[in-house]
């Protein structure tokens, strides 16, 4: 069996003005550009390929790699970047023909500068090359905004079930198994989907607590145990994308039973709709969170999650509201990951380790994440920036936010501020440890992350507090100026009515 594989994975926050370029894909630790054998070498990592390559090996399937590009979530992808990656994948597929199947690795919420549905475009291009008979199966992120084109063009789509996404390898393996069974003629996929008039904040999709989305996902897991159900997926969607088809959707793939697929997709959608009011998130005022953390018992660790400025949701990553409040409160033993500010990094590097500097940091990218804040501190560390992720999500992958400075504000036990050249999402303890900060020994950890931090930090946290600061991954969806999103949609239009099927 010969399965050709490649893909493009990016999550687009359309409220981010800065486009995502090919250079971004190619920046190690910020993006991933893997070609040929480099794709197969991802076996065993905490990625989709980590599981899919291992599964192919186990089954003795010949996996023919083309090209794979992934990058930190951000603004719309430049058309030139998409075209270049797409053409490389298509050239690889043409060279591999004839093939038995296509394993296409997608995120599901990628938009281009001039097109809302990048996955639909890529699937159409691949379908044109391989023709109507060759099965195409794609694993998807839980935050997929599902378009009709994706459903029409793919034979089977399978989403992650965990947020934080600790099940990327399992989903990759599952999708590959489904593709292999189709190729062998053991399964004839019948796929159905339901798209709800419902958009929900990312923070309400978390599966480390019984979020409303998890209730539906638990049912999807049960459905997958039933004979004839190949995959059952609940997509939370990505709400920070102003595209017509953003929001929640469900997909069920059965073996040759379209009616059963339709029923099951509607059942999962019904569970989400029933609980639509529960997707509301009410973050804590920043000052209250800091006060609670500072009053905590000796040895406690409070995670203050800056959920509205999450690099993993494509925000600026330079929000200053929490840092300003820490300084006003005279907080001690606080470590901040991180504020993106290349100019501040350059100034600290020029000053050198041990120097005292006075800088205006953050708040420069788009004016949507709080104004710049003046700080005086000592440059404790200058780091080239790269390190390996060790925890449950993305294990073994490289992370980098570019050159990274640790600035000590208020003395030895004050505020340790990481200044970075690029935004990032601190979802692993090594976002501190790599820079000489032991997170289990700090009273306050400020994380610019909507939810992925939970995989590594919930186990060490006395308490996680989602704080109310501004940004373009805010759970307050009514603060966004949607123009392309379909209407009516809940909760923007509270009286929206709907019933599954
Ligand atoms: Zn996601």
Three-state DSSP at 158 gives strand
Note the pLDDT of residue 384: 98
Mean predicted confidence (pLDDT) in 29-43: 97
Mean predicted confidence (pLDDT) in 392-402: 94
Note the pLDDT of residue 448: 97
Binning pLDDT at 50, 70 and 90, where does residue 392 land?
Answer: confident
Mean predicted confidence (pLDDT) in 12-27: 98
Q: Residue 248 Cα, ligand 1 centroid: separation in angstroms?
A: 13
**DSSP string over 238-255:** -TT---TT-S-EEEEEEE
Note the pLDDT of residue 101: 98
- The rounded distance, in Å, linking the Cα atoms of 320 and 270 is 40
- In tens, the pLDDT along 52-63 reads 999 999 999 999
Indicate the angle between helix axes 286-294 and 321-329, nearest 10 degrees: 50
Note the pLDDT of residue 117: 98
Q: Residue 352 Cα, ligand 1 centroid: separation in angstroms?
A: 38
Q: Residue 241 Cα, ligand 1 centroid: separation in angstroms?
A: 13
- Sheet with 463-468: strands ordered across: 284-285, 463-468, 302-305, 444-447, 334-340, 415-420, 404-409, 373-383, 356-361
Q: How big is the chain, counted in residues?
A: 501
- Sign of the torsion angle spanned by Cα atoms 414, 419, 425, 428: negative
- The rounded distance, in Å, linking the Cα atoms of 39 and 53 is 8
Q: Residue 457 Cα, ligand 1 centroid: separation in angstroms?
A: 18
Alpha carbons within 13 angstroms on the beta-carbon side of residue 53 total 18
Q: Which secondary structure element, helix H or strand E, spans residue 153, and what is its range?
A: helix 148-153
Q: Residue 165 Cα, ligand 1 centroid: separation in angstroms?
A: 7
Mean predicted confidence (pLDDT) in 270-285: 97
Q: Residue 353 Cα, ligand 1 centroid: separation in angstroms?
A: 37
Q: Residue 299 Cα, ligand 1 centroid: separation in angstroms?
A: 32
Q: Residue 238 Cα, ligand 1 centroid: separation in angstroms?
A: 8
- Per the structure block, which two tokens stand in for 74? 């951000």
Note the pLDDT of residue 501: 82
Q: Residue 95 Cα, ligand 1 centroid: separation in angstroms?
A: 32
State residue 172 phi and psi, 5-degree precision: -60, -45
Give percent above pLDDT 70 in the chain.
100
Mean predicted confidence (pLDDT) in 422-447: 97
- The rounded distance, in Å, linking the Cα atoms of 182 and 186 is 6
Q: Residue 324 Cα, ligand 1 centroid: separation in angstroms?
A: 29
Q: Residue 387 Cα, ligand 1 centroid: separation in angstroms?
A: 22
Q: Residue 168 Cα, ligand 1 centroid: separation in angstroms?
A: 10
- In tens, the pLDDT along 76-115 reads 999 999 999 999 999 999 999 999 999 999 999 999 999 9
For the chain, give the mean pLDDT: 97
Q: Residue 142 Cα, ligand 1 centroid: separation in angstroms?
A: 5
Q: Residue 236 Cα, ligand 1 centroid: separation in angstroms?
A: 9
Q: Residue 143 Cα, ligand 1 centroid: separation in angstroms?
A: 5
Q: How many helices (H) and strands (E) does the chain have?
A: 14, 20
Q: Residue 160 Cα, ligand 1 centroid: separation in angstroms?
A: 8
- The rounded distance, in Å, linking the Cα atoms of 175 and 156 is 8
- Per the structure block, which two tokens stand in for 224? 């997958």
- The rounded distance, in Å, linking the Cα atoms of 117 and 129 is 19
Contacts of 58-62 with CB under 8 Å at 24 or more apart are: 59/1, 59/176, 59/177, 59/180, 60/1, 61/1, 61/2, 61/3, 61/176, 61/180, 62/1, 62/2, 62/3
> Which residues surround the ion ligand 1 when the cut-off is CB under 5 Å?
141, 143
- In tens, the pLDDT along 112-144 reads 999 999 999 999 999 999 999 999 999 999 999
Q: Residue 166 Cα, ligand 1 centroid: separation in angstroms?
A: 10
State residue 456 phi and psi, 5-degree precision: -95, -30
Q: Residue 107 Cα, ligand 1 centroid: separation in angstroms?
A: 8
- The rounded distance, in Å, linking the Cα atoms of 96 and 410 is 60
Q: Residue 253 Cα, ligand 1 centroid: separation in angstroms?
A: 21
- In tens, the pLDDT along 156-212 reads 999 999 999 999 999 999 999 999 999 999 999 999 999 999 999 999 999 999 999
Q: Residue 314 Cα, ligand 1 centroid: separation in angstroms?
A: 11
Q: Name residue 467's beta-bridge partners.
A: 284
Q: Residue 454 Cα, ligand 1 centroid: separation in angstroms?
A: 13
Q: Name residue 12's beta-bridge partners.
A: 74
CB contact set of 38 (below 8 Å; sequence gap of 6+) = 65
Which domains does the chain show, CATH number per domain? 2-279 (3.40.50.2300), 284-474 (no CATH)
Burial of 271 (0-12, 13-18, 19+ CB in 10 A): buried
The CA R_g of the chain, rounded to the nearest whole Å, is 22
- The rounded distance, in Å, linking the Cα atoms of 362 and 62 is 49
For residue 50, pLDDT beyond 90:
yes
Q: Residue 214 Cα, ligand 1 centroid: separation in angstroms?
A: 14
Give percent above pLDDT 90 in the chain.
99
- The rounded distance, in Å, linking the Cα atoms of 9 and 140 is 9
Mean predicted confidence (pLDDT) in 306-318: 97
- Per the structure block, which two tokens stand in for 373? 């804040």
Note the pLDDT of residue 57: 98
Mean predicted confidence (pLDDT) in 407-415: 96
Q: Name residue 375's beta-bridge partners.
A: 359
Q: Residue 235 Cα, ligand 1 centroid: separation in angstroms?
A: 10
């Amino acid at each position: 069996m010969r399965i050709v594989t490649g893909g493009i994975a990016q999550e687009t926050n359309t409220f981010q003005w800065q486009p995502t370029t090919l250079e971004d894909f190619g920046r190690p630790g910020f993006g991933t550009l893997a070609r040929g054998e480099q794709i197969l070498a991802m076996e065993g990592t905490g990625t989709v390929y980590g599981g899919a390559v291992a599964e192919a090996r186990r089954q003795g399937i010949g996996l023919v790699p083309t090209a794979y590009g992934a990058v930190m979530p951000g603004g719309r992808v430049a058309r030139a970047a998409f075209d270049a990656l797409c053409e490389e994948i298509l050239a690889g597929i043409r060279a591999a023909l004839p093939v038995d199947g296509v394993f296409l690795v997608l995120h599901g919420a990628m938009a281009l500068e001039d097109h809302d549905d990048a996955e639909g475009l890529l699937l159409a291009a691949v379908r044109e090359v391989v023709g109507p008979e060759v099965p195409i199966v794609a694993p998807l992120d839980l935050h997929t905004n599902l378009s009709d084109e994706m459903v029409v063009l793919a034979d089977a789509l399978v989403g992650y079930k965990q947020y934080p996404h600790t099940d990327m390898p399992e989903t990759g393996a599952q999708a590959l198994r489904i593709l292999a069974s189709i190729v062998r003629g053991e399964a004839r996929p019948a796929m159905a989907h339901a798209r709800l008039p419902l958009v929900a904040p990312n923070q309400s999709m978390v599966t480390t607590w019984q979020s409303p989305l998890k209730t539906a996902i638990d049912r999807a897991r049960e459905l997958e145990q039933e004979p004839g159900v190949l995959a059952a997926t609940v997509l939370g969607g990505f709400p920070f994308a102003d595209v017509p088809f953003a929001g929640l959707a469900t997909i069920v793939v059965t073996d040759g039973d379209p009616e059963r697929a339709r029923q099951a997709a509607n059942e999962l959608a019904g569970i989400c709709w029933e609980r639509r009011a529960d997707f509301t998130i009410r973050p804590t005022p920043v000052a209250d969170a800091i006060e609670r953390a500072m009053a905590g018992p000796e040895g406690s660790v409070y995670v203050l999650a800056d959920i509205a400025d999450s690099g993993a949701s494509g925000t600026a990553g330079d929000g200053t509201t929490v840092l300003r409040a820490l300084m006003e409160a005279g907080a001690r033993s606080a470590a901040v990951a991180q504020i993106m500010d290349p100019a501040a990094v350059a100034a600290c590097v020029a000053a050198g380790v041990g120097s005292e500097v006075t800088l205006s940091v953050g708040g420069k990218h788009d004016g949507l994440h709080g104004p710049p804040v003046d700080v005086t501190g000592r440059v404790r560390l200058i780091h080239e920036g790269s390190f390996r992720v060790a925890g449950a999500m993305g294990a073994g992958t490289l992370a980098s936010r570019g050159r990274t400075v640790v600035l000590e504000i208020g003395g030895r036990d004050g505020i340790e501020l990481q200044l970075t050249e690029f935004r990032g999402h601190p979802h692993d303890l090594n976002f501190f440890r790599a820079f000489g900060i032991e997170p289990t020994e700090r009273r306050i950890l400020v994380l610019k992350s909507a939810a992925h931090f939970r995989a590594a930090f919930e186990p060490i946290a006395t308490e996680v507090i989602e704080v109310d600061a501004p940004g373009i991954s805010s759970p307050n969806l009514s603060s966004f100026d949607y123009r392309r999103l379909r209407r009516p949609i809940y909760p923007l239009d509270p009286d929206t009515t709907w019933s599954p099927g």
